[in-house]
Structure 1
Amino acid sequence: MVAASLGATVTIIERAGLGGSAVLTDVVPSKTLIATADLMARVAEAGELGVKFDVDGGDFVPVMHADLKHINDRLLTLARTQSHDIREGLEKVGVRIIAGSGRLVDNHTIEVLTADGTETVEADTILLAVGAHPRELETARPDGERILNWTQIYDLDELPEELIVVGSGVTGAEFASAYNGLGSKVTLVSSRDRVLPGSDVDAAVVLEEVFERRGVRVLSRSRAQSVERTDDGVVVTLADGSTVTGSHCLLCLGSIPNTAGLGLEEAGVAVSDSGHIKVDGVSRTTAPNIYAAGDCTGVLPLASVAAMQGRIAVAHFMGDGVTPLKLHQVASNIFTSPEIANVGVSEAEIESGKYQADIIKLSLRSNARAKMRNAKDGFVKIFARKGSGTVIGGVVVGPNASELIFPIAIAVKQKLHVDDLASTFTVYPSLTGSISEAARRLHVHM
């Protein structure tokens, strides 16, 4: 759409649907599911705020259940609607859309296999955005019924009684949190010492404490060896020989780029050992005139990063002004309950000596708005460069952390001083007040 608005003649080749996995099988469906689970969790805790549910004059704890068929029908409808809206927007600006699978012939030519046969498309510039698919184990093959990957789980009509989630990264943690909120008994199998091994340690600790309080069973340092179906469920065998049984198993084992069979070698496009397309800061591949964006590049598997890579690529090949992608400016969020958002450098990088910074961590328990909302878990953490006081990173854990990280992201990108955050007015009461308060306390430590 950006290229078309800049005057380019654009053709899109897509086999599954406009919007890709972000719209159809990943971000839109999963975050819709999570929003439903969050609502159920808030209702379940409403009694602590004085909200009572009466039947025939008697108080009772609300008995809720998740109508999973309705939930999944709704989220898939939202995904299809979003995909349709994207198609309409593209067609409105004159983009040609071909339904089919493409293969590179050279760095200017694509051979497209469609339902009607084969078509050859010539282009001055090619942008590859082919995404990735769920990784599987030879000993744990999804069957779409009891053993599932994250693209298949939306086909369920009934809530799993006992869901085993294999993998404690972002995807595994999000689904474990969501299905716990919906009412499933959840076991999370983690091969690492803790959940979210690549995230902020303090944030992971908060999530583990919440999991324990809400009944999620976490098996740390437990690598899944195999997953098999039984008559009425599944059995997961761990590397130490022990087993875990449940009604369903969700595999969250990472992803594999969809780069096989694309003709990359013939076109001169280099890939890494993992199969990801190698790109530079402006999304160029090793082949002239060919760019790549998204999960197939392995840069950072976020929809926001994929979109930015695409915009940068378009600006570059159209001769527009462009700034290379800077990963330290990327804000990301893990949609667990509570949410976990971060931007900039990490505390681990500071502790390793890579960056010299002052750190402040402020619990949300002291925030008036958090108390009003009965939000018990979370914190704000800000990192400021020693000497200069420039904000270089931060972490937010709590309700709507995905929104609250934005002012810290602006501070990181614009190289603002911690005093700029400290002296900026915030609404009282608000969760953002903890950001300015943390900045004020950080000023004292500098």
Structure 2
Amino acid sequence: MTGKYDYDLFVIGAGSGGVRAARIAASHGAKVAVAEEYRVGGTCVIRGCVPKKLLVYASHFAEDFEEAAGFGWTVGETSFSWKKLIANKDREIDRLNGIYIRNLEKAGVEIIESRAVLKDANTVRLVADGREITAGRILVAVGATPFRPDLPGVEHAITSNEAFHLDALPGRIVVVGGGYIAVEFAGIFNGLGAETIQLYRGPLFMRGFDEDLRKILAEEMVKKGVDLRMNSDIVAIERKAGELHLKLADGDVLKTDAVMYATGRVPNTAGLGLENAGVALGPKGEILVDRFSKTNIDSIYAVGDVTDRANLTPVAIREGQAFAETVFNDNPVAVDHSIIPTAIFSQPEMGTVGLTEVEARTRHGEIDIYKTSFRPMKGTLSGSDEKTFMKLVVEPASQRVLGVHILGPASGELIQAVGIAVTMGGTKAQFDATIAVHPTAAEELVTLKEKWQPPAARAAD
């Protein structure tokens, strides 16, 4: 193929999906180049899940210091430096960026530091120098970008991109949004000592997650000091006397030092030249692809958030690997997006896999629910009244576990292991047959015996 084209594969975007696709394709003998206009590693490594998790860790320490007294520890005077945290975070991101670059180079992939746009189905143009490059296959892996609404004064607001580079921790901040990015950052800022308000335009945040998790998370966040305001939205932002005045839809005005929008992300397809190649887009600007990540143009593929299928880093990596196997190893692989274990690093943390209760009832009709809520053992001495919650959604006829939903410490770690069982089609009987690990919170997952009934049904019994 390279006799006809400059490269067998040209990847636009060096994020998680693009890097994995490039490395695997090169391992199968393809001549590969990757164009990246910012830094290698993509949203997750540079300005997403990795730095965010580091900030989540930082935000837990004030609570940990407080709870240590119950275990006999006397913690002396403490202080927090935002500048030191951000400097240490930046050093770690630099390290990871270097690893990604070395791994690509070791695989024989050429890295081109430039924005690349499509000229036609087999040609890209490098914005940095105007050079045109041809390729037998082009993979678009440019991810998504934070959405900011069109309203007066929105230029004063930040997104998650800028939150990682603030000069100082705001004394007061308003986080706008109801998804996992919003609740995670609300927890971060609150834990680090900022006066934090979270606004969401709907009646309850975390839409799409299990109803029990949504309700309990809201209760626990309020207990931790986050001011949650549902059915609330900003219509204008104005800077006055060194602070921001946020005019709300109900006429109220909030005064704050910073406002962060975490109201979703949109596929980063603007100005990419997709129309030059005739690539079909969906209503959100997402690139439409088939189960093998191929667009309507045979030579052009897309993976990751730019396709708006399941916007998670591990999914992008799996899609990139599947693409390379399919196209460059004659081994067709389609990614199954139906069961995806997910962790939300809210405070408290959440882990979920499979169907929610509402989804299961819609698809299967009658279902069995097993759930429990309890105070973890640590809380008996620490004094914390934070709840841990666990829920199993089970299909009655087959006894297959359709969904598992957890809220509490280490939920992300738990759901990875539980996700294996759910993906394998594990049944409630198999969960029950598993010997419990005691004393742990996780043992509840294999000791739940009594089906949950709504209060009205219990009263009737």
Cα offset, 1:261, TM superposition:
1.6
Aligned CA RMSD, in angstroms, stands at: 2.1
1:209 aligns with 2:240: no
Cα offset, 1:349, TM superposition:
0.8
SS in structure 1 at match of 2:86: helix
Cα offset, 1:355, TM superposition:
5.4
Cα offset, 1:432, TM superposition:
2.3
SS in structure 1 at match of 2:437: coil
Q: 2:410 aligns with which of 391, 400, 408?
A: 400
**Residue by residue, what CA displacement relative to the aligned partner does 1:268-304 show, whole Å, maximum 9, x if unpaired?**
2110121111122221111102111111111122111
Cα offset, 1:317, TM superposition:
1.1
Cα offset, 1:180, TM superposition:
0.7
Q: 1:276 aligns with which of 281, 286, 295?
A: 286
Equivalences for 1:104-115 in 2 at 5 Å? 104-114=118-128
1:17 aligns with 2:27: no
> What is the identity, as a one-letter code, of the residue corresponding to 2:244?
V
> What is the identity, as a one-letter code, of the residue corresponding to 2:146?
P
Equivalences for 1:162-241 in 2 at 5 Å? 162-241=172-251
Maintained 8 Å contact 2:361/2:367? no
> What is the identity, as a one-letter code, of the residue corresponding to 1:263?
G
SS in structure 2 at match of 1:379: strand
Q: 2:419 aligns with which of 409, 415, 440?
A: 409
1:86 aligns with 2:96: no
SS in structure 1 at match of 2:232: coil
Uncovered stretches (5+) of structure 2, i.e. residues with no partner: 1-22, 453-461
Ranges of 4+ aligned residues in structure 1 off by more than 6 Å: none
Q: Which residue in the other structure is 1:72 paired with?
A: 86
Q: Which residue in the other structure is 1:310 paired with?
A: 320
> What is the identity, as a one-letter code, of the residue corresponding to 1:131?
G
Compared CA separation, residues 369 and 182, structure 1 to 2 (3 A): closer
* Identity, % of aligned positions: 29
Cα offset, 1:413, TM superposition:
1.3
Q: Which residue in the other structure is 1:99 paired with?
A: 113
Compared CA separation, residues 66 and 316, structure 1 to 2 (3 A): same
Cα offset, 1:428, TM superposition:
2.0
Cα offset, 1:397, TM superposition:
0.8
Give, in whole Å, the separation in 1 of the partners of 2:101 and 2:78: 38
Give, in whole Å, the separation in 2 of the partners of 1:46 and 1:142: 42
Maintained 8 Å contact 1:328/1:345? no
1:129 aligns with 2:141: yes
> What is the identity, as a one-letter code, of the residue corresponding to 2:132?
T
Maintained 8 Å contact 2:364/2:395? no
Q: Which residue in the other structure is 2:18 paired with?
A: none
> What is the identity, as a one-letter code, of the residue corresponding to 1:70?
K
> What is the identity, as a one-letter code, of the residue corresponding to 1:121?
I
Give, in whole Å, the separation in 2 of the partners of 1:302 and 1:126: 22
Q: Which residue in the other structure is 1:58 paired with?
A: none
Give, in whole Å, the separation in 1 of the partners of 2:246 and 2:96: 36
The range that moved more, 199-208 or 311-320, is 311-320
Give, in whole Å, the separation in 2 of the partners of 1:442 and 1:323: 39
Give, in whole Å, the separation in 2 of the partners of 1:351 and 1:113: 51
**Residue by residue, what CA displacement relative to the aligned partner does 1:129-158 show, whole Å, maximum 9, x if unpaired?**
111211112325565xx6311111122232
> What is the identity, as a one-letter code, of the residue corresponding to 1:248?
A
Equivalences for 1:376-387 in 2 at 5 Å? 376-387=386-397
TM-score by length of 2: 0.88
Maintained 8 Å contact 1:424/1:436? yes
Cα offset, 1:44, TM superposition:
2.5
SS in structure 2 at match of 1:105: strand
Q: Which residue in the other structure is 1:57 paired with?
A: none
Equivalences for 1:285-300 in 2 at 5 Å? 285-300=295-310
Cα offset, 1:213, TM superposition:
1.2
**Residue by residue, what CA displacement relative to the aligned partner does 1:105-135 show, whole Å, maximum 9, x if unpaired?**
2222211122xx1222222211111112111
Q: Which residue in the other structure is 1:258 paired with?
A: 268
Maintained 8 Å contact 1:381/1:395? yes
Compared CA separation, residues 316 and 205, structure 1 to 2 (3 A): same
Uncovered stretches (5+) of structure 1, i.e. residues with no partner: 55-62
Cα offset, 1:169, TM superposition:
1.4
Cα offset, 1:353, TM superposition:
4.6
TM-score by length of 1: 0.90
